[in-house]
Structure 1
Amino acid sequence: MRFEVLILGNSSATPMFERHPTAQIINFNEQIFLIDCGEGTQMQLHRYGVKSNKISHIFISHLHGDHYLGLVGLLSSMNLHGRYSDLHLYGPAPLIDIINLQLKHSETYLQYNLIFHATNPEKEELIFQNNTICVTSFPLKHRVPTTGFRFDEAQRSASLIREKIQHLNMPTVFFQQLKKGIDCVDLDGTVYKASELTKPAPAPRSYAFCSDTRAFESYVSSIQNVDLLYHESTFMHDMLPRAIETFHSTCLEAALIAKQVGAKKLLLGHYSARYRELTPLLQEAKLEFVNTELSSEGKWYNV
């Protein structure tokens, strides 16, 4: 089952060195989610072959321009492209006022339902769930109210061991029960044991997105044991005073957070425009957390 993250933008504050403001696509088994929507997101979607009208849910972390200024344009383009399906939008409460104001004065009338869900910057909350995935928001520590987002795959059913069942004269209606761990008995009294005819499903996978934030204890509990962690790493550690002043994190701090929460892999991002060459940021993070990678625009990352 596909669970991948596409980086559309990983620059902080301003576009620089062919890097774009923050935006990411999550593809979970062809359910398409967008996280943040900085300037240029539409062009990046087009560049990397993602159809915007396939996006079902958009998550905005906070109201600094490099994380949402591409949103109204994207919503308008979806309208022009003939979207009619519902679109769910999650973000800080004032976001809907910003959108409505711009749509009003441009006399733009959406043909689709834009369903807004205000996020809570004070506590962790489950904000979306279906049979296959759930999304949780959690507070970060930045200059304005900010939330991170965690995507957790639902527990999958066990799978049948084909070589064991192919020679059994077993009713096919038993298959789903066995996958759920339920033993079955046919009319002749033959017992089919789930433990003998199935193998456990893989462990559920998880992805966490930590946008602008100081590295802080407040969100550590929300990202425990995550498989893939994207954590902002705006500065190198020699710029720690600047990171503290602007409520950002250093590469070293991101690595320490990844180690503390037991993440399997760390992706760095939200790079300051002062860094053209990013290798030193990676080297610094690897001092504390070896399984670290630089996020690269246009690249898909498996969760």
Structure 2
Amino acid sequence: MSLSLTILGSNSALPTSDRYSTAQILCVSERFFLIDCGEGAQMQLRRNKVNFSKINHIFLSHLHGDHVFGLMGLISTFGLLGRRKSLTIHAHADLKELLAPQLAYFCADLPYQIIFQDLHYDAPHVIYEDKKVTVESIPLSHRVPTCGFIFKEKASIPNIRKEAIARYQLTVPEIVAIKNGQPFIGEDGSPVPPEQLLLPAAKPLSYAFCSDTRYFRRIIPFIQGVSLLYHEATFLHELKVLAKRSGHSTARQAATIARDAGVGQLLLGHFSSRYRDLSVFKEEAKEVFENVHVVSDNQVYEL
């Protein structure tokens, strides 16, 4: 099991010379998901050598420009590269109507299908699922309807102990049955304890993306215990009034959410362009939650 997150953009509304607007690429169980698509996202995908053809799902938290302005160019590029496989975009219902005239004008001969999947903002919803991964949307608190996303690996089947195969002369059908939870009866007629037969399965990894949002404690039960949490920290706590008014959070508030949700690691991002020295965000957050990192563009986090 593995999870790899690449930060394509870490800034808020105004990009800078070294910080693009919000976009991330998440690879979990060999699936590639694009999360938000701020301006310059496709340039950052190229810089990080991401194979465009592996991106089949795009998740857009909300319809503010700094999270979607890179989408139209990326859609066009996919077409120019000869894409044939459909592309699913999970977003607010308004997006399809907003893009329709642009697609008709600039991409009339698009060689692939775009599937729009509407997000819901009233409660958590499972919006993607396959054999290995689930993706759930959760409501956030911003100035417009906004979702966070939780990506979870499904639990894997435990592996059989090699010494158990030799000791009990296990056949392939017996191994399959044991791995699927069926009891194995030894020569003495009693069940063999599972821990003597199986190695513990690796703990499934999980990633929660929470941007943009006010300090919103209702998300805590939904992100409880995730391996990695990205939570916006647009401002330092001295501007908590401005943060609340503009629908954003401070570094201290993000750290409080991480602490109370018992997450493994916290990533801070979506910084206001007023800040040049981002180390102060880490200092503020570490007063509340120890395992915190301040993201920067092109950083990769692997679990």
The TM tier, using the shorter chain, reads over 0.9
Amino acid at match of 2:255: A
Q: Say which is worse superposed, 97-106 or 189-198, in terms of deviation.
A: 189-198
Corresponding position of 1:98: 98
Offset of 1:174 from its aligned partner? Answer: 2.4
User: SS at 2:172's partner residue?
Assistant: coil
The CA deviation string for residues 38-67 of structure 1, in whole angstroms up to 9 with x for no partner, is 000000000001011111211000000000
Offset of 1:220 from its aligned partner? Answer: 2.1
Q: CA contact under 8 A between 1:76 and 1:108: conserved in structure 2?
A: no
Task: Show the 5 A alignment for 1:9-20.
Answer: 9-20=9-20
Corresponding position of 2:7: 7
Offset of 1:145 from its aligned partner? Answer: 0.6
Offset of 1:193 from its aligned partner? Answer: 5.8
Looking at structure 1, the residues matched to 33 and 265 of structure 2 have their Cα atoms a distance apart, in angstroms, of 21
User: SS at 1:298's partner residue?
Assistant: coil
Amino acid at match of 1:36: D
User: SS at 1:144's partner residue?
Assistant: coil
Go from structure 1 to structure 2 and tell me whether the alpha carbon gap of 1:185 and 1:113 turns closer, same or farther (over 3 Å shift).
Answer: farther
Q: CA contact under 8 A between 2:76 and 2:107: conserved in structure 1?
A: no
Go from structure 1 to structure 2 and tell me whether the alpha carbon gap of 1:77 and 1:229 turns closer, same or farther (over 3 Å shift).
Answer: same
Q: Say which is worse superposed, 142-151 or 114-123, in terms of deviation.
A: 114-123
Q: Say which is worse superposed, 98-107 or 209-218, in terms of deviation.
A: 98-107
Corresponding position of 1:225: 225
Looking at structure 2, the residues matched to 253 and 191 of structure 1 have their Cα atoms a distance apart, in angstroms, of 51
Amino acid at match of 2:263: A
Offset of 1:153 from its aligned partner? Answer: 1.0
Q: CA contact under 8 A between 1:39 and 1:69: conserved in structure 2?
A: yes
Looking at structure 1, the residues matched to 46 and 192 of structure 2 have their Cα atoms a distance apart, in angstroms, of 51
Identity rate, percent: 42
Offset of 1:142 from its aligned partner? Answer: 0.4
Alignment RMSD, CA only? 2.0
Offset of 1:237 from its aligned partner? Answer: 0.6
User: SS at 1:99's partner residue?
Assistant: helix
Amino acid at match of 2:57: H
Q: CA contact under 8 A between 2:2 and 2:205: conserved in structure 1?
A: no
Offset of 1:172 from its aligned partner? Answer: 1.5
Offset of 1:108 from its aligned partner? Answer: 2.7
Q: Say which is worse superposed, 163-172 or 268-277, in terms of deviation.
A: 163-172
Amino acid at match of 1:125: H
Looking at structure 1, the residues matched to 186 and 255 of structure 2 have their Cα atoms a distance apart, in angstroms, of 55
Amino acid at match of 2:220: V
Offset of 1:190 from its aligned partner? Answer: 10
Go from structure 1 to structure 2 and tell me whether the alpha carbon gap of 1:109 and 1:193 turns closer, same or farther (over 3 Å shift).
Answer: farther
The CA deviation string for residues 3-53 of structure 1, in whole angstroms up to 9 with x for no partner, is 111111110001114100001111012210010000000000000010111
Question: How many residues get paired?
Answer: 303
Looking at structure 1, the residues matched to 102 and 176 of structure 2 have their Cα atoms a distance apart, in angstroms, of 50
Looking at structure 2, the residues matched to 102 and 227 of structure 1 have their Cα atoms a distance apart, in angstroms, of 39
2:268 matched to 1:268?
Answer: yes
Corresponding position of 2:151: 151
Looking at structure 2, the residues matched to 77 and 186 of structure 1 have their Cα atoms a distance apart, in angstroms, of 61
Corresponding position of 1:203: 203
Corresponding position of 1:112: 112
Looking at structure 2, the residues matched to 220 and 109 of structure 1 have their Cα atoms a distance apart, in angstroms, of 45
Task: Show the 5 A alignment for 1:16-165.
Answer: 16-165=16-165
Go from structure 1 to structure 2 and tell me whether the alpha carbon gap of 1:190 and 1:112 turns closer, same or farther (over 3 Å shift).
Answer: farther
Offset of 1:168 from its aligned partner? Answer: 4.5
Q: CA contact under 8 A between 1:52 and 1:78: conserved in structure 2?
A: yes
Looking at structure 2, the residues matched to 153 and 9 of structure 1 have their Cα atoms a distance apart, in angstroms, of 24
**TM-score of the two chains, using structure 2 as the length reference:** 0.94
Looking at structure 1, the residues matched to 289 and 193 of structure 2 have their Cα atoms a distance apart, in angstroms, of 44
Q: CA contact under 8 A between 2:62 and 2:91: conserved in structure 1?
A: yes
Q: CA contact under 8 A between 1:178 and 1:193: conserved in structure 2?
A: no
Go from structure 1 to structure 2 and tell me whether the alpha carbon gap of 1:193 and 1:227 turns closer, same or farther (over 3 Å shift).
Answer: same
Q: CA contact under 8 A between 1:38 and 1:69: conserved in structure 2?
A: yes
Go from structure 1 to structure 2 and tell me whether the alpha carbon gap of 1:17 and 1:289 turns closer, same or farther (over 3 Å shift).
Answer: farther
Contiguous gaps of at least 5 residues in structure 1: none
The CA deviation string for residues 125-161 of structure 1, in whole angstroms up to 9 with x for no partner, is 1111111110100111001110000011111111111
Q: Say which is worse superposed, 277-286 or 191-200, in terms of deviation.
A: 191-200
